[in-house]
A and B are shown apart, each in its own frame.
Chain A
Amino acid sequence: MDEDRDSLCQPPAEMPEASAARAMLDQLDAELIGLAPVKGRIRDIAALLLIDRLRAEQGLQSQPPSLHMCFTGNPGTGKTTVAMRMAEVLKQLGYVRKGHLVAVTRDDLVGQFIGHTAPKTREVLKKAMGGVLFIDEAYYLYKPENERDYGQESIEILLQVMENQRDDLVVILAGYKDRMDGFFASNPGMASRIAHHIDFPDYSEAELMLIARLMLTRLNYRFDDGAEPAFARYVSLRRQQPHFANARSIRNALDRIRLRHATRLFSADRRLTREQLCTLQAEDVLASRVFTGAPRQGATT
């Protein structure tokens, strides 16, 4: 009986917002392969926001958490993709009002001459209000080798708005791990205002295969029986080589396989079936230079 009297609010799982949040998390699970730490953090944030709403109903102190984030990880691990989704997610959880994403780099924030930076940065912030501001390769904002660089000015304005208008704007910084660490070391103010540092792990081979399959399904292609193991071999070989950029390398590889597939079909003089138009064969995959062990120059086949 006591327990009944105490439980004023409905179970969190039965809140209407909870089912919306769960649907959104399921969708995220289906569309993003791997990335367990990232999804875990998004789930935590969703839970906190829902519980905060229950606390507010009970008249308890509920201050919206600071959601500024930093995404670090190797190239192609999905930082930008997740940032795009994050805006939608936060919109559905009711944390940001509009849920649009403004993606910028140093060029959009930092000006060319004295007095140019502040208006430029403020313009971007104005645009991002009510949504998410995504700063890609944020470490370029700070150039320690040039003490008169205007990046510092931009950082100061950002910090001010990040602190004073937490309800209006979520800032996400992204970049490679080591360089972001350097950036935070020289900008302790920035490091302390960012509550969530999320590291994007590299994908395993199995995850890369899942990603490839997902990409192909979206493009209405598929591997035939021979092509699938061939591509698995491609992935394991490609991972050993320099300049491997996780999902981005997979996307590039698939693009080149599609090129070879198209060339092969183009030289045929028969009428093509729908099946042929969709099916990638082993020979399309095996023509890659990765298998011949030829020396690579930058990002080639």
Chain B
Amino acid sequence: MRITQGTFSFLPDLSDAQVIGQVDHALGKGWAIGIEYTDDPHPRNTFWEMFGNPMFDVSDAAGVMLELKQCRNTFPDHYIRLTAFDSTHGTESVVLSFIVNRPKAEPGFRLVRTEEQGRTLRYSIESYAVQRSPEGERYGMRQE
């Protein structure tokens, strides 16, 4: 099951040229780009690991792409997303975020039904990949 989230969730994955276009747009607005990765893509898991520091002083998309390439080499089978942080007073939050890398195989989620008192059912979802293996080995072996 192809997981989607973030700004362009309804589109096919962006090509590198399209990513560069988005990064240019974000840098033009003065937003700082950050790179985050995870292998626990549960929709409620909003805090992914940062790959390096947020790039507050990078002024060109090539610098971001250099870092992204590095991240893809390190975590080829992780989800990687770019975030753009707007530091304007009053906003000070991530204003753009989209997935730029995903594992080759995405087993998807299982619907978990929890029975409660009086025939009540509580629903939750659980990732097959997360259930299957510990962190770092969920979508293929970690490549150090």
A130 touches B59 (CB 8 A): yes
Chain A nearest CB from B124 CB (Å) reads 39
Q: Which of B60, B64, B66, B67 contacts A131 (CB 8 A)?
A: B60
Cα distance, A100 to B58, chains bound together (Å): 11
Query: Which of A14-22, A119-127, A207-215, A223-231 is near enough to bind chain B?
Result: A119-127
Q: Which residues of A contact B67 (CB under 8 A)?
A: 122, 126
Q: Which residues of B contact A169 (CB under 8 A)?
A: 62
Task: Pick from B60, B64, B66, B70 the residue with the most CB of A within 10 Å.
Answer: B60
Cα distance, A119 to B52, chains bound together (Å): 9
B57 touches A129 (CB 8 A): no
B61 touches A126 (CB 8 A): no
A168 touches B58 (CB 8 A): no
Contact of A53 with B by CB under 8 A: no
Cα distance, A129 to B63, chains bound together (Å): 5
Nearest A-chain residue to B57, judged by Cβ:
A127
Contact of A165 with B by CB under 8 A: yes
A100 touches B62 (CB 8 A): no
Chain B nearest CB from A169 CB (Å) reads 7
Q: Which residues of A contact B52 (CB under 8 A)?
A: 119
Contact mask A104-121 → B, CB, 8 Å, 1/0?
Answer: 000000000000000100
* Interface residue ranges of B53-91 to A (CB < 8 Å): 55, 57-64, 66-67, 70
Q: Which residues of B contact A129 (CB under 8 A)?
A: 58-63, 66
Contact of A98 with B by CB under 8 A: yes
* Residue positions of B touching A, CB distance < 8 A: 52, 55, 57-64, 66-67, 70
- Given contacts A122-B70, A126-B64, A129-B66, 7 further A-B pairs with CB under 8 A are A98-B59, A98-B60, A125-B63, A126-B55, A126-B67, A127-B57, A131-B60
